[in-house]
Amino acid sequence: MVVDPLIELRDVNKYYGGLHVLQDVNLTVAKGEVVVVIGPSGSGKSTLCRAINRLETIRSGTILLDGQPMPEEGKALARLRADVGMVFQSFNLFAHKTVLQNISLARIRVRGRRKDQADQCSRHILGRVGLADQADKFPARLSGGQQLGVPPRPFRRWGRVAIARALAMEPKALLFDEPTSALDPEMINEVLEVMRQLAREGMTMAVVTHEMGFARSAATRVVFMSDGRIVEDRAPEDFFTAPESQRARDFLSKILKH
């Protein structure tokens, strides 16, 4: 039994036209839990994340955050949405603002903090993610080729900046949608390490990822989705050593070969 639920989805259904992308989804993430969501492409993992934050509407069902239903719109929604920080696959930072400014912005706008307070806190957060020395850098540094129309090289540490920006909202929980999939291989571990550290500090997290090592070592539960349904919701060791469904077995045999 879940003692202290922070995120709760009850019988959630969502359609894109005729496509039933979330089918009677029931999911609870308790305070301090790290729930890793895995499943084949198109199974509805991103839609699930976006629905939790009401970036997507749902057809039926209930989504509760800390016991409160998500408001439909307006200021109340903005506030509650800020309680669940999101770290996306491709995270847009403002290229013309420094890393520090990018992080403070969210805090000033959404939480109504004063700039000097926000900056102080942002520096602290940058320290937490190991980027204290990067505060005054710009997300996209100009590359030599830029005058020739080559896009600027993205800031190599954006993964951790994205996490810092989500943390700056003072969230109760963090949602990650494939936070490492667009990163250079050497940056992946840095991001996973920050995520592990947040988990140790007790941050509640739902993480869509293909990093099975992370799922095994950091998750309190693994949720396996297929065709819009939650097919398995289990302790990581149980899931990885003895998946119950054929679909999970097929998925694991494919992904673990790589």
Ligand X SMILES: Nc1ncnc2c1ncn2[C@@H]1O[C@H](COP(=O)(O)OP(=O)(O)OP(=O)(O)O)[C@@H](O)[C@H]1O
Q: Which residues, at least 6 apart from 195, have a Cβ–Cβ distance to it below 8 Å?
A: 163, 176, 179, 205, 207, 214, 218
Distances (CA, A) of 29 to 90, 121, 173, 245: 24, 27, 9, 22
47 binds ligand X (CB under 6 A): yes
Toward ligand X, which CB reaches closer, 39 or 139? 39
- Integer CA distances (angstroms), 217 to 56, 87, 251, in order: 31, 20, 19
44 binds ligand X (CB under 6 A): yes
Q: Which residues, 46 to 65, sit near Mg ion by CB under 5 A?
A: 46
Give the nearer residue to Mg ion in terms of CB position, either 7 or 168: 7
Least distance in angstroms from the C-beta of 11 to Mg ion: 22
CB of 45 to Mg ion, least distance (A): 5
At closest approach, how far in Å is the CB of 204 from ligand X? 21
In the chain, DSSP assigns E strands to 5-16, 19-30, 34-38, 60-65, 68-69, 84-87, 140-141, 153-154, 173-177, 204-208, 221-226, 229-234
Of the pair 46, 226, the CB lying nearest Mg ion is at: 46
Q: Name the β-bridge partners of 208.
A: 37, 177
- Per rule CB under 6 A, is residue 154 in the interface with ligand X? no
175-214 footprint of Mg ion as x/- string (CB under 5 A) = ----------------------------------------
Is residue 43 close enough to count as binding ligand X by CB under 6 A?
yes
Distance CA(213)–CA(209), nearest Å, equals 10
Binding site for ligand X (CB under 6 A): 16, 19, 21, 39, 41-47
Binding site for Mg ion (CB under 5 A): 46
